[in-house]
Amino acid sequence: MAKTRIYLDWNATAPLHPAARAAVVDALDLGGNPSSVHGEGRAARMLVEKARRQIATLVGGTAANVILTSGATEAANMVLTPDFRMGKSPLNVGHLYVSAIEHPAVREGGRFAADRKSEIAVLSSGQVDLAALKTQLVSHSSELGLPLVAVMLVNNETGVVQPVAEVAALVHAHGGLLVVDAVQAVGRMPVDIAALDADFLIVSSHKIGGPKGAGALVARGETLMPTPLIRGGGQEKGHRCGTENVSAIAGFGAAAEAMLVELEDRNSGIRALRDELETRMRQAAPDVVIYGADSPRVANTTFFGLPDMKAETGQIAFDLEGIALSAGSACSSGKVGKSHVLTAMGFDDKAGGLRISLGPSTTPEEIDLAVSVFQRIAGRRRVGGQAA
């Protein structure tokens, strides 16, 4: 009999939620193009607009300000641009400031030239350095155009929650715009675009149990918008053209609604499992380092390292035992390498870190198995004084 595998990599992608699966299947039975005016087209359009409302509700936004995309990466490349419009008038953004722990989709800087973007330092706690950001904003030359700042709400590797409201206060005091990657936050904590005072939020379908291939850029208002990345037939009010992926969008909307309904009950149970996991890991290996443990974190994430063990070695060892987890973020086709997040936090990152991320279906028995595998791996790395 094949060994049962355990999935502890929910930050990379969440298994398809039953409600999302049902919505996708129903949408696949519709043959109409949502831009068509006949009955079939109107039926498809209704599904798209329902999903838009569901996504807006998840982040405290307005449906009219939700721009549907193929995913969070496209949304990031759309909004990270020097060229915005305020109504019909062009608005120039002079420089991009990106926190050093952003996901590569944001950290690459979108449509900004290399000499028009700068990194914002982070503290050893894993949170953005507000003093460093203030210094950069004070030094920003308004002659170049407005400053655009990108700071994620929850880091995808450590799970550390960023002080976004404080960042927003600084950015807006200096006349800038704030983009927040909320991909790892939605479904794991309450998210409200107005409370965060963000100008734009980036969200993704497959991180919350929706299908892959859908995401959204959510704007605070309708007036200020980036120039389109994809032009064509005028879909999404011209902000993102191309025929909508109706089935993926419908699944995204259903997942968004489910996440909001289940938020509190789901996360209380997950936090208890995560805390038990970390307690038992420390008992098994007192020298384990849990990154960001003293900072506010979402309930489901543990990012840890063991001295004398490379992250890649650890990931393979867990996988051979039937447990799926990540060595850092799952952002580039099977790549296991140096964590830019740990480097930014000031850690010696030669070994790297392993990320366990839990989900609604994670069980106490799975935690027991993960701990037993961790114990064996931690023990083996010291056998004969050799690293695992």
Average pLDDT over every residue of 128-146: 95
pLDDT at residue number 352: 79
Cα separations (Å) of 165 from 154, 178, 313? 13, 10, 39
pLDDT at residue number 3: 58
Q: Which of 169, 241, 331, 369 is catalytic?
A: 331
Q: Where in the chain is the domain with CATH 3.90.1150.10?
A: 6-15+264-385
Average pLDDT over every residue of 241-249: 96
For helices 364-380 and 311-320, the axis angle rounded to 10 degrees is 130
User: Residues 302-328: pLDDT tens digits?
Assistant: 999 998 888 888 999 999 999 999 986
Question: CATH homologous superfamily of domain 6-15+264-385?
Answer: Aspartate Aminotransferase, domain 1 (3.90.1150.10)
Q: For residue 382, what pLDDT band results from cuts at 50, 70 and 90?
A: low
Percentage, residues of the chain above pLDDT 90: 84
Q: For residue 115, what pLDDT band results from cuts at 50, 70 and 90?
A: very high
Report the alpha-carbon distance of residue 290 to residue 29 in Å, rounded. 47
Instruction: Say whether pLDDT at 330 is over 80.
Output: no
Cα separations (Å) of 38 from 31, 34, 45, 268? 11, 9, 10, 47
Instruction: Say whether pLDDT at 388 is over 50.
Output: no
User: Residues 192-210: pLDDT tens digits?
Assistant: 999 999 999 999 999 999 9
The reported pTM is 0.93
pLDDT at residue number 70: 97
Instruction: Say whether pLDDT at 331 is over 60.
Output: no
pLDDT at residue number 318: 95
Cα separations (Å) of 199 from 150, 189, 193, 261, 323? 10, 19, 8, 25, 39
Contact indicator for 64, 221 with CB cutoff of 8 Å: no
Instruction: Say whether pLDDT at 373 is over 50.
Output: yes
Instruction: Say whether pLDDT at 333 is over 50.
Output: no
Q: Which residue has the tokens 């997950």?
A: 270
Instruction: Say whether pLDDT at 387 is over 50.
Output: no
User: Residues 358-369: pLDDT tens digits?
Assistant: 999 999 999 999
Instruction: Say whether pLDDT at 27 is over 50.
Output: yes
User: Residues 257-279: pLDDT tens digits?
Assistant: 999 988 887 888 999 999 999 99
CATH number of 19-257, picked from 3.90.650.10, 3.30.950.10, 3.10.105.10, 3.40.640.10: 3.40.640.10
Average pLDDT score, the chain: 93
pLDDT at residue number 311: 87
Q: What element of type H or E holds 225? A: strand 224-226
Angle, vertex CA 20, rays to CA 102 and CA 197, nearest 5 = 40
Q: Where in the chain is the domain with CATH 3.40.640.10?
A: 19-257
Cα separations (Å) of 252 from 26, 58, 143? 13, 11, 41
pLDDT at residue number 351: 63
| Minimum mean pLDDT range among 87-91, 121-125, 189-193, 330-334 | 330-334
**Tokens read off for 246:** 């109706």
Is residue 331 flagged as an active site residue? yes
Pairing of β 323-324 and β 6-7: parallel
pLDDT at residue number 309: 83
Instruction: Say whether pLDDT at 111 is over 80.
Output: yes
pLDDT at residue number 379: 86
**Tokens read off for 273:** 């499992």
